[in-house]
Amino acid sequence: MPVIKEKFPTYNAFGSANLADVYGVEKLNNAKYLRADTFASAYLENEGNGTFKLIELPSQAQVSSINDFCIEDFDNDGFLDVISAGNLYQSEIETTRNDAGIGLLLKGNMNAILNPISAKESGVYIDGDVKKMKQISLGREANKGIIVVRNNDFLTVLSSEK
């Protein structure tokens, strides 16, 4: 950032500066302040009466950003499952990109707990800069698939049918 370079000619000068030195007291006084209690990927469970419970997803879902997910009983066991995908390739110059995600199947059970299933076991492998997923019907049968949209890439269709 050119303005920072002009204001702080050395890394030492910038590293020794506080926020007021960098932005100025007036700008800080007029700034909007937000607070985050977690950066974990999570979902909200509606407990009724206008109350919600934050439930963090398992650690396997925390390796990269999640941009979209599909909810369906993928294994036909009567419980909803989740397939998630994401990553974030376009980030600020000072921030490394989020690119460790390969998609994840979270298998639901009778206790509404989402258990992560490895890519090797589930067959779910959705790498790249995924922005959107949409469930679709495939053909005239009841076969379903998922269209995966990646930034600056081709569409992919996932299907459990061979």
Q: Give the tens place of pLDDT for each residue, 22-33.
A: 989 999 999 999
Amino acid identity of residue 64, one-letter, is: S
Q: Would you say residue 92 lies in a domain?
A: yes
Does one domain contain both 22 and 72?
Answer: no
Does one domain contain both 21 and 73?
Answer: no
pLDDT for 1: 74
Q: Would you say residue 120 lies in a domain?
A: yes
Amino acid identity of residue 67, one-letter, is: N
Question: Which of the residues in the chain have pLDDT under 50?
Answer: none
DSSP at 110: T
pLDDT for 37: 92
Does one domain contain both 29 and 84?
Answer: no
Does one domain contain both 82 and 151?
Answer: yes
Does one domain contain both 97 and 145?
Answer: yes
Does one domain contain both 150 and 104?
Answer: yes
What's the 3-state SS for 94-107?
CCCCECCCCCEEEE
pLDDT for 91: 83
Does one domain contain both 76 and 131?
Answer: yes
Does one domain contain both 27 and 72?
Answer: no
What range does the domain containing 6 cover?
1-34
pLDDT for 18: 94
Does one domain contain both 88 and 8?
Answer: no
pLDDT for 141: 75
Q: Would you say residue 132 lies in a domain?
A: yes
Does one domain contain both 148 and 103?
Answer: yes
CB atoms within 10 A of CB 70: 18
Q: Would you say residue 53 lies in a domain?
A: no
Q: Would you say residue 47 lies in a domain?
A: no
Does one domain contain both 70 and 18?
Answer: no
Question: For residue range 38-48, what is the model confidence (pLDDT) as tens digits?
Answer: 999 999 999 99
Name the one residue in this structure whose structure tokens are 């909810």.
Answer: 71
Number of domains in the chain: 2
pTM of the model: 0.79
CB atoms within 10 A of CB 119: 15
Q: Would you say residue 54 lies in a domain?
A: no
Q: Write out the two tokens for 70.
A: 């599909």
Q: Would you say residue 69 lies in a domain?
A: yes
Q: Would you say residue 119 lies in a domain?
A: yes
Amino acid identity of residue 111, one-letter, is: N
Does one domain contain both 84 and 127?
Answer: yes
